[in-house]
Structure 1
């Protein structure tokens, strides 16, 4: 059975991707997120959906932070044991630190880069050989954001990490043409992270307007 890895799987886009994958194809989906309870609920729903569709796929939950190398090792071990890796979907991300561009500490900058950039790159590197062994289409899908192209108040660090991930995606397409590498912009989606993002953006926009009026 083909294997697909989905990070950030417990809520929002990642959760729906897992359910839809198992609804449409017989797959082993490795779902990665920090909340083990949310993953357990997702596993029950996704596998029930797969069974109703006649596919009888499975969802393999891995609870952990992708910024932790041990979590990434668990992902690779599971993928190796389950079958042929067909796709890696890098969806997990954080918007924190959100707020004025120069407010975050050095440690906070490092933290967002670790989650949004270094962890996906590490997974891509570790998955590359397995993807190349797959006999059908091979896909690396990086979920990105319009903030990588157009700055939004309050999301400088987040946009910077996504812009870098966009570049790496294009470079992968050039250097590894045997694998389809895609940076996907989903637009504004009603997720818990985006709800908070909109609040922060409004606050920073108001702050910018007040600052401009004082010049």
Structure 2
């Protein structure tokens, strides 16, 4: 079995790579940071005796996306983890950075999901699968985090629908983590972020792989995250919008 992991140089992507290597998967690891990626590839290969190929790429470059699909058309498992967010009022975000976020979080994931799933269906391999990483932010609009939440809503909706279409042929699951101990909030512009119920990437990944093995369509790691998503069903969208705005827009720094 061979897996391809995007955003593999740190955080959730790195832990996915480690956990899959432990399970004997050969790996293709994709990220922008060459030194980190090559070190991870070397370490995993040395420790677990699996074949690991680093692929350095900015996935907002469409030529790199095409090259990735052409070179590794035989993968059995795709982990679409690459993505980033920017915490700022919508009008204040640099337009080019905002579009780059949309390109990575939506366009790259869409292309890789579509092209690799086509190849998986043709091979008729019931063991083949795709895990797309969304967020609990996918379940409601988030003022101050508007574009990121919208991109993850796309990932959630697309993956759930597509999973139903390919049911019984290719296993497809969407993972919706809440706050996780990674570099995400440093990149997003909130380095002092403190969350009461923050999870480790190890718990997110191990839970995700267990859920995937059970054939889950959607997985929300952590009891508190599940509870928050569940409770949203019983309040108006306006109320949910006002509550979320307190943390990401009216109070852009602090504990959530």
The question of a shared fold, defined as TM-score above 0.5 by the shorter chain, is answered with yes
The residue number in structure 2 matching 1:161 is 151
Please list the CA deviations of residues 102-140 of structure 1 after superposition, one character each: whole Å capped at 9, or x if unmatched.
323543432211010011001112212221215332211
Supply the distance in 2 between the matched residues of 1:206 and 1:76 (Cα, whole angstroms): 37
Report the TM-score when normalising by structure 1.
Answer: 0.82
What SS is found at the alignment partner of 1:102?
Answer: helix
The residue number in structure 2 matching 1:208 is 250
Shift of 1:205: 4.0
- Return the match for 1:144 from 134, 138, 142: 134
Residues 134, 65 of structure 1: CA spacing in aligned structure 2 closer, same or farther, 3 A cutoff? Answer: farther
Q: Figure out how many residues of one structure are paired with residues of the other and give that number.
A: 198
The residue number in structure 1 matching 2:67 is 74
Partners of 2:142 and 2:248 within 8 A in 1: no
Residues 30, 207 of structure 1: CA spacing in aligned structure 2 closer, same or farther, 3 A cutoff? Answer: closer
Q: Which runs of 4+ in 1 moved over 3 A?
A: 105-109, 150-153, 194-202, 204-207
The residue number in structure 2 matching 1:101 is 90
The residue number in structure 2 matching 1:213 is none
Supply the distance in 2 between the matched residues of 1:6 and 1:192 (Cα, whole angstroms): 17
Residues 35, 209 of structure 1: CA spacing in aligned structure 2 closer, same or farther, 3 A cutoff? Answer: closer
Report the TM-score when normalising by structure 2.
Answer: 0.70
Shift of 1:72: 1.2
Supply the distance in 1 between the matched residues of 2:91 and 2:154 (Cα, whole angstroms): 19
Residues 4, 63 of structure 1: CA spacing in aligned structure 2 closer, same or farther, 3 A cutoff? Answer: same
CA RMSD of aligned residues (A): 2.4
Q: Structure 2 unaligned segments of length 5 or more: list them.
A: 195-245
Q: Structure 1 unaligned segments of length 5 or more: list them.
A: 52-56, 211-215
Please list the CA deviations of residues 141-177 of structure 1 after superposition, one character each: whole Å capped at 9, or x if unmatched.
1111111114445311101000011110012112222
- Return the match for 1:46 from 44, 47, 54: 44
